[in-house]
């Protein structure tokens, strides 16, 4: 049985937020919750997808391991984020692996329930498309960040995503370890440390797993500046 709070968290996901209550109730009627400890495997690349995942609490990373053994972080999800919709819909093999990077709680919705409902409820088809589009949009944005922003700007954008204020100062808790943050931002750990140091000039101070931001607007401006500007001024 899905608890009321868990239902609300699931309802806040892109997959479910536009669905009528009776569709949500039907989907969650077949769902179950699963607890995972930090470092525990959720699924492995190559396994057949039978469920859709919605994060109720904690953080989960999707990753691939290259032939040389290096790990490439594909995405990181937290509360109210869903993943695996498209591959579960077709019940194909996962192209990535998933691992809990903190203790977490996931909601697992059977793919068969989704497919059965899609035949009866056109709103669900649109919801799946919307969720899939969001994943694609975020991936494109992430690729743009890696190619068009400096490492320090990527870290600034990451901290801004975690902040809860539009202006002024705030304190941000880093949700997972710095090695994973570096991997998610396409950086090496030592490059992440240098980026944190560079952000000191715009009022960011890192203490263990916390980041103190003295001026959110200044950090936002720093993240949005075109890196080519400095080069243009030098010409």
pLDDT score of 123: 85
Nearest to 28 by CA among 40, 16, 37: 16
Q: Which domains does the chain have, with CATH numbers?
A: 4-141 (2.60.120.10), 149-228 (1.10.10.10)
Distance CA 231, CA 144 (A): 19
Integer Cα distance of 220 and 216 in angstroms? 6
Contacts of 210 (CB under 8 A, 6+ apart): 171, 172, 173, 174
pTM for this prediction: 0.82
The mean-pLDDT minimum among 18-32, 158-172, 221-235 falls in 221-235
At residue 134, the pLDDT reads 82
Which pLDDT value is given to residue 220?
92
Looking at residues 88-114, what average pLDDT do you find?
93
Whether residue 46 is predicted with pLDDT greater than 90 in this model: the reply is: yes
Q: Would the pLDDT of 53 be above 70?
A: yes
pLDDT at 228: 55
Q: How far apart are CA 147 and CA 150, in angstroms?
A: 8
pLDDT of residue 64 exceeding 80: yes
What is the side-by-side strand order in the sheet with 41-43? 41-43, 97-100, 60-65, 71-77
Q: Give the pLDDT confidence score for residue 193 in this predicted structure.
A: 94
């Amino acid at each position: 049985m899905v608890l009321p709070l868990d239902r609300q968290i699931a309802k806040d996901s892109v997959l479910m937020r536009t669905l009528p209550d009776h569709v949500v109730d039907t989907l969650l009627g077949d769902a179950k919750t699963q607890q995972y400890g930090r470092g525990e495997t959720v699924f492995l690349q190559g396994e057949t997808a039978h469920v859709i995942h919605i994060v109720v609490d904690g953080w989960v990373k999707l990753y691939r391991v290259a032939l040389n053994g290096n790990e490439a972080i594909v995405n990181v999800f937290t509360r109210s984020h869903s993943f695996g919709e498209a591959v579960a819909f077709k019940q194909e093999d996962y192209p990535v692996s998933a691992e809990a990077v903190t203790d977490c709680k996931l909601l697992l919705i059977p793919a068969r329930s989704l497919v059965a409902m899609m035949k009866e409820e056109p709103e669900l088809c649109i919801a799946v498309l919307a969720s899939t589009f969001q994943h694609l949009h975020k991936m494109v944005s992430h690729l743009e960040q890696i190619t068009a922003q400096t490492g320090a700007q990527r870290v600034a954008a990451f901290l801004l995503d975690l902040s809860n204020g539009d202006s002024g100062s705030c304190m941000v808790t880093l949700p997972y370890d710095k090695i994973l943050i570096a991997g998610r931002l396409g950086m090496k750990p030592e490059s992440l440390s240098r980026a944190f140091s560079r952000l000191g000039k715009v009022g960011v101070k890192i203490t263990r797993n916390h980041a103190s931001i003295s001026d959110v607007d200044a950090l936002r401006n720093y993240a949005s500046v075109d890196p080519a500007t400095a080069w243009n001024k030098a010409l």
